[in-house]
Each structure stands twice: as structure tokens, then as C-alpha cells.
């Protein structure tokens, strides 16, 4: 926003889909790519619909899904097998059972192995749990935090706190939370966790380097009849403010290039991010990868049950406060779930105006 005001903004930006896109879109600084797409026959029906949720604003095509992801359940296959579990948990009830079974303490009562780890990323993981309970973080019109009134946020936060208090769920660190969690997994001190598909290549390579075979599965669900998973990652957009027709035309040509099936497939194969188009999923590089390493296909298959956070210009600000309050609840453990809800209600009244 500062570079736009100063007239130094780039033509193309990569924005976090549910936070960055709404902020810039509501400021009216993003190019409507719909006329360009229609003129050039760009096939938007080649993009999975769930990935287009944050591509449109006020009838305009303002962003394209590029490095998109979905969180998955990663687990240590050997540890699971030794405990008698031959597959990943499909429900939260099964997750609790597995987590408790794999939890180990030493002679001093200190945890040696956590059965499960959940990062302080509530805009992803807690939101999805709330969705599985039949509600959502915010209302469909993006104007209210409905889960604070219907009890679903309290249920999710109470469960998370109970898991940590019982000792089988690792409480995330304040800094380097994800890196620390993955390090502990590779040391055999964490048996399973939720994390983005976008980091799958590093997850598999690093674990295999120390002799750990990683299992990859869908996220477990609260309600067997309502399985779901969120999507995340970044969307590409073109800033129109201060740009001439030639710059905008060039930016659109680049956008078409990175969204081409071949380029999207190469990006996905290198990283673990989702193939952004149906056509990219059919490219030889992806088909060969899936045949060799079926773990990579799990994320794309999970799109069948994927859901998105409703569009709201307040998402980013509220989720930041949610992280702060969850830190007090889960990491510091200085407040109760009920106190967390009251604090969140205050923040919601200030943010959703």
C-alpha cells in the first residue's frame, strides 16, 4: 500500500489469498482481468472453482490462484504401526485416540514423544474445525464473527486446550513454531501434525534423510458426514494504479504464462503446491510425480472437500488478534477458553465495523 501511494508499486504482486487480496481489492487498485481473459480465450473453467473464491471482487476478476495449498495430515508411519495403527485417523475422535496412544513420558514424567502437534494458525486449522461443526469463522456476508455466538469457537478452543493440558498435543513455540515442529518430527519426538502441502517436498526429503517414512492423508473431521479442508497460499494480481496500457498488457501476458498448464505443473511438481489448473494436473510431470510419489496427489484429491473462508475485508486483522489470544490460551496458558471467547468478542466489535 505504501508503494502504491508512492507510485513505486510493481505491476504484479503475489498476495495471501484471504488477507492481501481483499485489502487491495477493496482499495480499487487491482486490474480487472476479465476483459483480457475474454479477449484471449483464457479458460477460467480450467481452474478448480474452490481456488477462484478470492479471484473475484464486485464482479471483477482481480486475482489468479498460483501458489495455492491445502493443509494435510503428516505422520510417522513406523511409529503409527508400532502402536497398532495402520492408517491415518479419519475423525477427530480417532485423532485423540492415536495422539494419546503415541504419547510417551520419561521416568521424570516429562514428555518424550507428543502424539500430535497443532500450530498456532487458527485462521486455517481452527476455522476448518469450526466449519466441520457446521458454522464458520465469519458469516457469508463477511460482517460478523458468527462462531463466537453459536458455541463452535468455544468447542474448538476447549478441545485444543484439553489436548495440550493432557500432554499428548505439542504446544507450539512462540518463535520458529513450524520449523521447530518439523525438527521435532524428524527427531522422532512428534508423531503427527497438520501442515501445508506447499512444503511437502522439504517435509518428505528432510524426513527421509533421517530414515523416517512419512504418511500423508486428509485432515480428520469432527463430523464424519462433513469432512472438509481449507485452502491457502497466494494469488497473483496486477496493480493498475499508476500503470500505463503497455505495462498492463505486459503484465497480463506474464499472467497467462505463469497460469499456463505447463508452467503451473512445473511449479507444483517442484514444491508440493497444488496444480492450479485441471490441465496442469494432466501434464506428464505431474502424472509421473503422482505415480512415483502418490503423497503429492493427496492434496489435489482433497480439493473435492475443500472449503474457503468467506470474503471479508476484516479477515486479516481479526485472524491476527485470534493468533494473539490463542497464544495466551495455548502457549502461555494464562487464560481459559471462556476468557478467550470474551476477549475475541471485544476484538470482533472493534474490527468488524
pLDDT in tens, 157-178: 999 999 999 999 999 998 899 9
Which pLDDT score, from 0 to 100, does residue 313 have?
87
**pLDDT at residue 256, rounded to an integer:** 97
d(CA 45, CA 279): 10
Distance CA 91, CA 37 (A): 41
Please compute, for residue 10, the number of CA atoms within 13 A of its CA located in the half-sphere on the CB side. Answer: 7
Give one DSSP letter per residue of 15-73, joined into a string.
Answer: EETTTHHHHHHHTT-B---HHHHHHHT--GGGS-GGGGTTTEETTEE--EEEEEE-EEE
Helix (H, G, I), strand (E, B), or coil: what is residue 192? strand
Q: Per the confidence metrics, is the pTM higher than 0.85?
A: yes
Q: Does residue 69 surpass a pLDDT of 90?
A: yes
pLDDT of residue 18: 83
Tens digits of residue pLDDT in 203-235: 999 999 999 999 999 999 999 999 999 999 999
Question: Span 237-253, mean pLDDT?
Answer: 97
Q: What are the sequence ranges of the domains in the chain?
A: 2-69+232-307, 71-229+314-351
Residue 168 in 3-state DSSP?
coil
Question: In whole angstroms, what separates CA 36 from the centre of its chain?
Answer: 30
Of 98-102, 126-130, 150-154, 306-310, the one with minimum mean pLDDT is: 306-310
For the cut 90, the answer to whether the pLDDT of residue 353 exceeds it is: no
Instruction: Report the percent of the chain where pLDDT is more than 90.
Output: 94
Give 47's pLDDT tier (boundaries 50, 70, 90).
very high
Q: Is the pLDDT of residue 10 over 90?
A: yes
CB-based contact 328:169 (threshold 8 Å): no
Q: Which residue has the cell 516429562?
A: 110
pLDDT at position 271: 87
The alpha-carbon radius of gyration of the chain (Å, integer) is 21
Task: Find out if CATH 3.40.190.10 is the number for domain 71-229+314-351.
Answer: yes
Each residue's pLDDT tens digit, 32-43: 999 999 999 999
Cell numbers standing for residue 329: 490460551
User: Do the domains spanning 2-69+232-307 and 71-229+314-351 agree at the CATH topology level?
Assistant: yes
User: How many whole angstroms separate alpha carbon 32 and alpha carbon 12?
Assistant: 13
Arithmetic mean of pLDDT, 265-282: 94
Structural element, H or E, at residue 119: none
Q: Does 3.40.190.10 match the CATH number of domain 2-69+232-307?
A: yes
Q: What is the share, in percent, of the chain residues with pLDDT greater than 70?
A: 100
181-194 mean pLDDT: 98
Question: Given pLDDT bands bounded at 50, 70 and 90, which one contains residue 19?
Answer: confident
Q: Would you say 289 and 269 are in contact if contact means Cβ atoms under 8 Å apart?
A: yes
Sheet hosting strand 169-170, strand order edge to edge: 169-170, 116-117, 192-196, 71-76, 214-217
Given a cut of 90, is residue 1 above it in pLDDT? no
Provide DSSP, 215-265.
Answer: EEEPPPBSSTTS--EE-EEEEEEEB-TT--HHHHHHHHHHHHHHTSHHHHH
Mean pLDDT of the residues in the chain:
95
The CA-to-CA distance between both ends of the chain, in Å, stands at 21
Residues 165, 107: Cα–Cα separation, whole Å: 19
Amino acid at each position: 500500500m505504501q508503494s502504491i501511494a508512492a507510485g513505486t508499486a510493481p505491476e504484479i504482486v503475489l498476495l495471501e489469498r484471504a488477507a492481501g487480496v481483499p485489502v487491495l481489492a477493496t482499495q480499487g487498485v487491482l486490474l480487472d482481468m476479465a476483459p483480457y481473459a475474454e479477449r484471449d480465450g483464457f479458460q477460467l473453467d480450467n481452474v478448480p472453482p474452490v481456488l477462484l473464491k478470492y479471484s473475484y471482487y464486485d464482479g471483477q476478476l482481480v486475482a489468479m490462484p498460483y501458489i495455492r495449498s491445502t493443509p494435510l495430515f503428516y505422520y510417522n508411519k513406523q511409529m503409527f504401526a508400532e502402536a497398532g495403527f495402520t492408517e491415518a485417523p479419519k475423525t477427530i475422535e480417532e485423532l485423540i485416540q492415536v495422539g494419546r496412544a503415541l504419547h510417551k513420558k520419561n521416568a521424570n514424567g516429562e514428555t518424550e514423544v507428543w502424539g500430535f502437534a497443532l500450530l498456532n494458525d487458527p485462521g486455517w486449522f481452527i476455522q476448518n474445525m469450526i466449519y466441520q461443526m457446521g458454522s464458520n469463522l465469519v458469516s457469508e456476508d463477511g460482517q460478523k464473527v458468527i462462531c463466537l455466538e453459536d458455541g463452535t469457537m468455544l468447542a474448538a478452543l476447549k478441545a485444543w486446550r484439553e489436548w495440550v493440558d493432557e500432554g499428548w498435543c505439542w504446544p507450539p513455540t512462540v518463535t520458529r513454531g513450524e520449523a521447530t515442529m518439523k525438527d521435532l518430527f524428524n527427531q522422532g519426538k512428534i508423531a503427527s501434525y497438520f501442515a501445508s502441502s506447499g512444503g511437502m517436498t522439504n517435509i518428505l526429503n528432510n524426513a527421509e534423510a533421517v530414515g523416517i517414512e512419512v504418511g500423508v492423508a486428509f485432515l480428520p473431521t469432527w463430523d464424519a458426514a462433513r469432512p472438509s479442508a481449507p485452502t491457502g497460499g497466494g494469488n497473483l494480481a496486477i496493480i493498475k494504479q499508476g500503470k500505463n496500457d503497455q505495462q498492463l498488457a505486459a503484465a497480463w501476458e506474464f499472467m497467462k504464462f505463469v497460469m499456463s498448464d505447463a508452467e503451473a505443473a512445473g511449479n507444483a511438481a517442484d514444491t508440493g503446491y497444488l496444480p492450479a489448473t485441471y490441465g496442469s494436473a494432466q501434464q506428464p510431470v505431474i502424472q509421473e510425480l503422482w505415480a512415483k510419489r502418490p503423497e503429492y496427489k493427496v492434496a489435489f484429491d482433497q480439493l473435492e472437500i475443500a472449503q474457503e473462508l468467506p470474503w471479508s475485508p476484516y479477515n486479516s486483522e481479526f485472524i491476527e488478534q485470534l493468533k494473539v489470544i490463542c497464544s495466551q490460551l495455548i502457549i502461555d496458558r494464562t487464560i481459559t477458553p471462556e476468557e478467550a471467547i470474551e476477549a475475541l468478542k471485544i476484538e470482533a466489535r472493534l474490527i468488524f465495523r
